[in-house]
Chain A
């Protein structure tokens, strides 16, 4: 009995061994393709591997994608993981584990293109796997490289899919695939029609793929599913070039061609009987060329007239790759309906971007709305308070590794630090200069220079990382067109909170009342028992503290450098001035106007963001000339200088 058992085990073992031998053997026959794979050549090896039907193949392929396949000096492949100078190896078939010195092994690093091809090969093993991650990977692989032969297995796997989200995704993907690859034209048209409301990039790509066409030129209208006939006179030179390329017409005689022909035909210092010295103008050169053409020494000049004549002789057309006209018509209809929706969505997205930019400007400027807008103090170091807040966030993160906790610590700490800095600055510098606003500007500028350089000396000029917590990663995706990152939403919410906070403080608290009293008439306020010094100090501190919190937020979404404050200072002042000094609502209006305006100009000229900024500033300069008090102008006595 026991013997039999042993025999069976032995038998089984040898079978296993034989099989094990096999995967390494297949790998060895394709050693070159596997060690140095390329997107275009790796398929041969993959087909052999998949065809072998070995159970170890999927595991090997997955390891390969993850860059954990290693090749030994003698060419043998292993799955391995590095630990210091050692490498923990696993045999590709038996799974036997061993350890070896790293130096003898070379890691295989398939590039992104190869990984994608391997991913496609893995689909068949993963599509109905028990592991959800594997199934998701498989579906993603199909989405990346859709092919006709994936439709059937995908459809087959939909039924048994336990995960509802993935199931919906599979159905959607199957729909995309059938629009392109289904055998029956009616199925395709049904699928295409169902895409008419889908604004996702994938759906549009399916429709665009169906509508792929190529342009061509022929003496007469060709056979096939013609998309459109083109009018060559729209861009005659470009179409003529096409004609030349197709070999239907002689090339245009440009200045370079004329020149070359003239140079080739110099006889006794003359060309076409015109002395060389006179050939310094285009007219003379054309005359000389005409003379050469007459003698047959050069091909005749192609004039505009001959060009137009030639264009009239031929048909220029776009031809669909898809032969079935019904399908392309359905796709065209679906696409135009989608594009309308996309246009709306784009407008919405642009508005969202504008809103987000406006809230960033508002956040950067809101501290100024207090110090400059309410108190009338020009603080050029405001940007540096933003920077201090951001660096506070960075420093806190170096001490507290948990991002959520560190942000929660950083926000109040940034407020405290910049509040302190603001109060110090007010006590030491600004209070001596309340009656000399221009001097305040210069003195705070000196502070700004000093703080900026100080930050460089302490933290270096290299940008520092300030990483947002996980729950702020990613974006709120409404559709493929409309999306906004969570961090921007957070900034928007923060801006709203501050707006509410400041309005509350100014309008509903004792402090706010005193602040307004002191700014309107310090003497009178003092005689009512308010201490203007204390109020000024606190107000300035509040404005600076808010700048610090804004700094943390801005650092989270962009970068933390010593110059980040300088990037915002001019814009912030303009936000306050455009909005109207002395009014928090005005700052909001100013930020909205600048934010939306900038996005609008960017949309008009998408390839050059710098131009958008330039024109926006010019617009603001003009705007202030015509409305010097800003959008929300104060009226009555408070408005007096």
Chain B
């Protein structure tokens, strides 16, 4: 398997994976735009492998529209301008029918102008800050109302948290999410004094002062909770400091939006049991579909590999695209887009994901507690929540809606009844 896999990747990277069936006049090409080198490689390589696995499975099942699917893998090397260049290459040189790719928001913003100019189709699988709806992008990850808001509701309702510390890495996702949450909390009657916001750089490691500040928040006797949008490596130092300060989840619960199974593998979690994370998917979800997916993944990529939320997003996105293309009878972008609206596909965690006319999915929100073995114990699962491109909690975006099916506009101002712009705001 490993040998086959590596030679397969080799072929794919060469961009000449000659997998297309000979009898197919116009081969179906799927572009995979994930960083295979650089800082994002660790997260994105997993998604590239996921795509290769999904395509292999689909080809074994007969491909799409009678054609075998050919994967075109390129490496944008965690270099944001290179994302735009590679996207152009995929669409003009390789003529791909659809692209699955990107992780960071900035890479998406880099790619947007290119795919809008060339009318491409992108499936973006990662939870993000919202405030965007492009005609050419389907967002299969969570919008803030599908991750952040339910998690805060859980804090307010179930844990009775009265005072919030919003800790984040200083970049667009935490900034926007925290802005939304701050407004949301104020609407819920939390005083401005009871919201503590802090931003740290990428890879921050000196957490003692900040953890001390969080503990000190409890001085007026209110229940304190931490909402963490801390990204990547910085989490390790943060959780180590939490553990050193002996802060149990019973005293100050921490809910994280960017910590998944992969991130926990860099940590000894025995001191963190009970702290929380919110996602649309956890590996520990106990459903037959998930068991099958995990087994297939381990067989494909290796026994020690874990699954995570963006992988499920690609799983849903790819299958919806296959179904939409089959329904439309073509891989033409506009036809597939029209067929995408209302597509349904079962989630790995149970229930059904539905593609909405604002290019977001309706998905359930899961809250899990960290367990000692580095997994999450799911303790709360909502019904499917429809993704909202423009948040209702910031005045400037509350008046905007996205509806590509009826209104044909991703940024429609409901007050003036006009379409602000057809391209997206990159």
Within 8 A of A (CB), among B148-179: 154, 157-160, 170
Contacts of A460 in B (CB 8 A): 42
Instruction: Decide if B197 is an interface residue (CB 8 Å cutoff).
Output: yes
**By the criterion CB–CB under 8 Å, are B208 and A204 in contact?**
no
Contacts of B267 in A (CB 8 A): 465
Q: How far is the CB of B370 from chain A (nearest CB, A)?
A: 12
Instruction: Decide if B268 is an interface residue (CB 8 Å cutoff).
Output: yes
Complex Cα distance, B207 from A356, in Å, reads 11
Within 8 A of B (CB), among A338-365: 349-350, 353, 356-357, 360
**By the criterion CB–CB under 8 Å, are A464 and B266 in contact?**
yes
Complex Cα distance, B212 from A475, in Å, reads 12
Contacts of A353 in B (CB 8 A): 208-209, 212
Instruction: Decide if B206 is an interface residue (CB 8 Å cutoff).
Output: yes
Mask for B189-213, Cβ within 8 A of A = 1, else 0?
A: 0000000011111011110111011
Most chain B CB within 10 A, of A460, A464, A557, A603, is at: A557
**By the criterion CB–CB under 8 Å, are B208 and A607 in contact?**
no
Mask for A593-606, Cβ within 8 A of B = 1, else 0?
A: 00000010011001
Query: Per a CB cutoff under 8 Å, which of B159, B237, B245 touches A557?
Result: B237
Contacts of A610 in B (CB 8 A): 170, 199-201
**By the criterion CB–CB under 8 Å, are B159 and A607 in contact?**
no
Stretch at the interface among B53-61, B217-225, B417-425: B217-225
**By the criterion CB–CB under 8 Å, are B208 and A609 in contact?**
no
Complex Cα distance, B369 from A587, in Å, reads 45
Contacts of B367 in A (CB 8 A): 111
Within 8 A of B (CB), among A500-520: none
Contacts of A465 in B (CB 8 A): 265-268
Within 8 A of B (CB), among A534-567: 557-559, 561, 563, 567
In the complex, the chain B residue whose C-beta lies closest to that of A263 is B416
Q: A480-B215, A484-B208 are in contact. Are A463 and B236 (CB under 8 A)?
A: yes
In the complex, the chain A residue whose C-beta lies closest to that of B201 is A610
Q: How far is the CB of B94 from chain A (nearest CB, A)?
A: 27
Complex Cα distance, B227 from A483, in Å, reads 23
Mask for B239-260, Cβ within 8 A of A = 1, else 0?
A: 0110111100111010000000
Instruction: Decide if B388 is an interface residue (CB 8 Å cutoff).
Output: no
**By the criterion CB–CB under 8 Å, are A112 and B253 in contact?**
yes
Complex Cα distance, B226 from A112, in Å, reads 14
**By the criterion CB–CB under 8 Å, are B250 and A563 in contact?**
no
Query: Per a CB cutoff under 8 Å, which of A109, A116, A558 touches B237?
Result: A558
Contacts of A144 in B (CB 8 A): 250-251
Most chain A CB within 10 A, of B213, B220, B274, is at: B220
Q: A115-B250, A465-B267 are in contact. Are A559 and B237 (CB under 8 A)?
A: yes
Complex Cα distance, B158 from A181, in Å, reads 26
* Residue total for A at the interface (Cβ-Cβ under 8 A): 60
Contacts of A360 in B (CB 8 A): 206
**By the criterion CB–CB under 8 Å, are A114 and B158 in contact?**
yes
**By the criterion CB–CB under 8 Å, are A462 and B158 in contact?**
no
Contacts of B268 in A (CB 8 A): 465, 467
**By the criterion CB–CB under 8 Å, are A112 and B274 in contact?**
yes
Contacts of B201 in A (CB 8 A): 609-610, 613
In the complex, the chain A residue whose C-beta lies closest to that of B159 is A113
**By the criterion CB–CB under 8 Å, are A204 and B220 in contact?**
yes
Q: How far is the CB of B226 from chain A (nearest CB, A)?
A: 13
Contacts of A463 in B (CB 8 A): 233, 236, 266
Most chain B CB within 10 A, of A140, A463, A487, is at: A463
Most chain B CB within 10 A, of A205, A461, A483, is at: A461
Query: Per a CB cutoff under 8 Å, which of B158, B208, B220 touches A208?
Result: B220
**By the criterion CB–CB under 8 Å, are B377 and A111 in contact?**
no
Contacts of A607 in B (CB 8 A): 197-199
Instruction: Decide if A209 is an interface residue (CB 8 Å cutoff).
Output: yes
Contacts of A483 in B (CB 8 A): 212, 245
**By the criterion CB–CB under 8 Å, are B236 and A473 in contact?**
no
Instruction: Decide if B384 is an interface residue (CB 8 Å cutoff).
Output: no
Contacts of B200 in A (CB 8 A): 609-610
**By the criterion CB–CB under 8 Å, are A487 and B221 in contact?**
no
In the complex, the chain B residue whose C-beta lies closest to that of A67 is B377
Q: A115-B250, A461-B39 are in contact. Are A609 and B198 (CB under 8 A)?
A: yes
Within 8 A of A (CB), among B254-290: 262, 265-268, 271, 274, 276
Query: Per a CB cutoff under 8 Å, which of B218, B244, B253 touches A205?
Result: B218
**By the criterion CB–CB under 8 Å, are A349 and B212 in contact?**
yes
In the complex, the chain A residue whose C-beta lies closest to that of B416 is A263
Instruction: Decide if A474 is an interface residue (CB 8 Å cutoff).
Output: yes
Complex Cα distance, B158 from A484, in Å, reads 32
**By the criterion CB–CB under 8 Å, are A39 and B159 in contact?**
yes
Instruction: Decide if B93 is an interface residue (CB 8 Å cutoff).
Output: no
Contacts of A602 in B (CB 8 A): 209
Instruction: Decide if B414 is an interface residue (CB 8 Å cutoff).
Output: no
Contacts of B243 in A (CB 8 A): 473
**By the criterion CB–CB under 8 Å, are B240 and A557 in contact?**
yes
Instruction: Decide if B10 is an interface residue (CB 8 Å cutoff).
Output: no
Instruction: Decide if A578 is an interface residue (CB 8 Å cutoff).
Output: no
Complex Cα distance, B36 from A460, in Å, reads 12
Instruction: Decide if B1 is an interface residue (CB 8 Å cutoff).
Output: no
Instruction: Decide if A486 is an interface residue (CB 8 Å cutoff).
Output: yes
Complex Cα distance, B326 from A618, in Å, reads 59
Q: A111-B379, A353-B209, A464-B266 are in contact. Are A475 and B221 (CB under 8 A)?
A: no
Contacts of B253 in A (CB 8 A): 112
Q: How far is the CB of A55 from chain B (nearest CB, A)?
A: 27
Within 8 A of B (CB), among A108-131: 109-116
Instruction: Decide if B41 is an interface residue (CB 8 Å cutoff).
Output: yes
Q: How far is the CB of A338 from chain B (nearest CB, A)?
A: 9
Q: How far is the CB of B239 from chain A (nearest CB, A)?
A: 10
Complex Cα distance, B26 from A359, in Å, reads 64
Within 8 A of A (CB), among B29-76: 39, 41-42
Instruction: Decide if A608 is an interface residue (CB 8 Å cutoff).
Output: yes
**By the criterion CB–CB under 8 Å, are B159 and A111 in contact?**
yes
Q: A113-B159, A113-B160, A608-B170 are in contact. Are A462 and B265 (CB under 8 A)?
A: yes
Within 8 A of B (CB), among A251-286: none
**By the criterion CB–CB under 8 Å, are A606 and B245 in contact?**
no
**By the criterion CB–CB under 8 Å, are B245 and A609 in contact?**
no
In the complex, the chain B residue whose C-beta lies closest to that of A115 is B250
Contacts of A205 in B (CB 8 A): 218-222
**By the criterion CB–CB under 8 Å, are A111 and B219 in contact?**
no
Complex Cα distance, B237 from A353, in Å, reads 15
Instruction: Decide if A225 is an interface residue (CB 8 Å cutoff).
Output: no
Instruction: Decide if A577 is an interface residue (CB 8 Å cutoff).
Output: no
Complex Cα distance, B201 from A559, in Å, reads 15
Instruction: Decide if B216 is an interface residue (CB 8 Å cutoff).
Output: yes
In the complex, the chain B residue whose C-beta lies closest to that of A199 is B219
Complex Cα distance, B268 from A112, in Å, reads 21
The 8 closest A-B pairs by CB, nearest first: A205-B221, A485-B244, A558-B205, A208-B220, A463-B266, A559-B236, A461-B42, A204-B219
Interface residues of A (CB under 8 A from B): 38-40, 67, 109-116, 140, 144, 201, 204-206, 208-209, 349-350, 353, 356-357, 360, 456, 460-465, 467, 473-475, 480-481, 483-488, 557-559, 561, 563, 567, 599, 602-603, 606-610, 613
Given A111-B154, A609-B199, 20 extra CB contacts under 8 A? A111-B159, A201-B218, A209-B220, A353-B209, A353-B212, A462-B42, A462-B262, A463-B236, A464-B266, A465-B265, A475-B244, A475-B245, A485-B208, A557-B240, A558-B237, A559-B203, A559-B205, A559-B237, A599-B209, A608-B198
Interface residues of B (CB under 8 A from A): 39, 41-42, 154, 157-160, 170, 197-201, 203-206, 208-210, 212-213, 215-216, 218-222, 233, 236-237, 240-241, 243-246, 249-251, 253, 262, 265-268, 271, 274, 276, 367, 369, 377-380
Cross-chain pairs A/B with CB under 8 angstroms, 30 sampled: A38-B157, A110-B379, A111-B154, A111-B369, A111-B380, A112-B253, A112-B369, A113-B157, A113-B160, A116-B250, A201-B219, A204-B219, A206-B221, A209-B221, A350-B209, A461-B41, A462-B42, A463-B236, A465-B265, A473-B271, A483-B212, A557-B205, A557-B240, A558-B237, A559-B237, A599-B209, A606-B213, A608-B170, A609-B200, A610-B200
